[in-house]
Amino acid sequence: MNFVNLLKIALKALNNNKLRCFLTMLGIIIGVASVITMLAIGQGSKNSIKDQIPRWVQI
């Protein structure tokens, strides 16, 4: 099988299974968004703690 045939078969399968394709894309989008959000929360917490350390040392 060549690449063009494989591409045609893949596109036909995606077209026949629209709901499954949508749900898969939705799951991937939600997963990536949650990972990015958790990394941002962790980074913000780390920066907040680093900013507060000099205040604790001065007390």
pLDDT of residue 7: 95
Global confidence as pTM: 0.69
- What would the mean pLDDT of 22-26 be, rounded to a whole number? 97
Within 8 A by CB and 6+ apart from 29, the residues are none
Residue 32 has pLDDT above 90, yes or no: yes
**% pLDDT > 70, the chain:** 93
CA atoms of 57 and 59, how far apart (whole Å): 6
3 or 59, higher pLDDT? 3
pLDDT of residue 51: 86
